[in-house]
Amino acid sequence: LAKTTQPISMDSYEGQEVNITCSHNNIATNDYITWYQQFPSQGPRFIIQGYKTKVTNEVASLFIPADRKSSTLSLPRVSLSDTAVYYCLVGPAGAAGNKLTFGGGTRVLVKP
Amino acid sequence: GAVVSQHPSRVICKSGTSVKIECRSLDFQATTMFWYRQFPKQSLMLMATSNEGSKATYEQGVEKDKFLINHASLTLSTLTVTSAHPEDSSFYICSAEWGSQPQHFGDGTRLSIL
């Protein structure tokens, strides 16, 4: 399973764009990149998943360079409620029993 | 979106008690369910992988006789913490997957052993 490295923490202010970069140098050809958000005392919530280039949904964008050795989660115009821990994971999508290995995550604090 | 329900959300019980936690996929049939444990300020640690109708696969260091997993149907998996002790106090989270969809997580169970 590819190991991921993320910043431990990041501060931002309401209305700003937050970009979290994750390194995954030994990502495999069939690995996807998935990001989850976790609030205290709750389970992780799926944010976005991608394989290459750029993926966008209603809450975030995911930028993946051609070499796929890193990825950047972009949260546009954050609010106080976006304060959470964000996890980047890599692994094959759809494989039966696809185990996810959670790294330390990035603790994002959004200030007023 | 996919919903995974976990019950109970919080349990407080005496040392020596066995505690059962349920994990249900409400709107899909989960091919695989996973159980995680999370200590305060730490990341999630995978405990075991559970497939319907077969024995769970436990991660290294997780006692299978301590943490009993039953996956009786495609929508229900249970984790029983047997003879729980204070060191078993933690936040237990399940997840479920099907097809090529990413794993979806329950909201966790806070277990406190007195």
Phi and psi (nearest 5°) for A81?
A: -75, -5
- Tell me the per-residue pLDDT of B4-47, one tens digit each, with 9 for 90 and over: 999 999 999 999 999 999 999 998 888 889 999 999 989 999 99
Mutate to test the interface with A, among B35, B107, B111 (most CBs of A within 10 A): B107
Q: Are B71 and B32 in contact (CB under 8 A)?
A: no
Cis-peptide, bond into residue B8, ω within 30° of zero: yes
Mean pLDDT of chain B: 92
| Residue B1 confidence class, pLDDT cut points 50, 70, 90 | low
Contact B69, B52 (CB under 8 A): no
Per-residue model confidence (pLDDT) at position B61: 94
Which residues from chain A sit within 8 angstroms of residue B32, using beta carbons?
A: 96-98
Among residues 29-88 of chain A, which lie with CB inside 8 Å of chain B?
34, 36, 41-46, 49, 87
Nearest Cα to Cα of residue A35 among A110, A95, A77, A85:
A85
Q: Are strands B19-25 and B4-7 parallel, antiparallel or unpaired?
A: antiparallel
- Cα distance between residue B37 and residue B45, in whole Å: 5
Q: Strand pairing partners for B34?
A: B49, B95
Which of B43, B58, B71, B93 is the best residue to mutate to test the A interface, defined by the most A CB atoms within 10 Å of its own CB? B43
Distance CA B95, CA A23 (A): 25
Cβ–Cβ below 8 Å for B43 and A44 = no
User: What's the N-to-C CA distance of chain B in angstroms?
Assistant: 37
Q: Which residues of B touch A87 (CB under 8 A)?
A: 43-44
Q: Which of B6, B44, B100 sits opposite A94 (nearest CB)?
A: B100
Per-residue pLDDT of chain A (112 residues; tens, 9 = 90+): 568 999 999 999 999 999 999 999 999 998 899 999 999 999 999 999 999 999 999 999 999 999 999 999 999 999 999 999 999 998 887 555 567 788 889 999 999 9
Closest CA to B77 of B56, B101, B102: B56
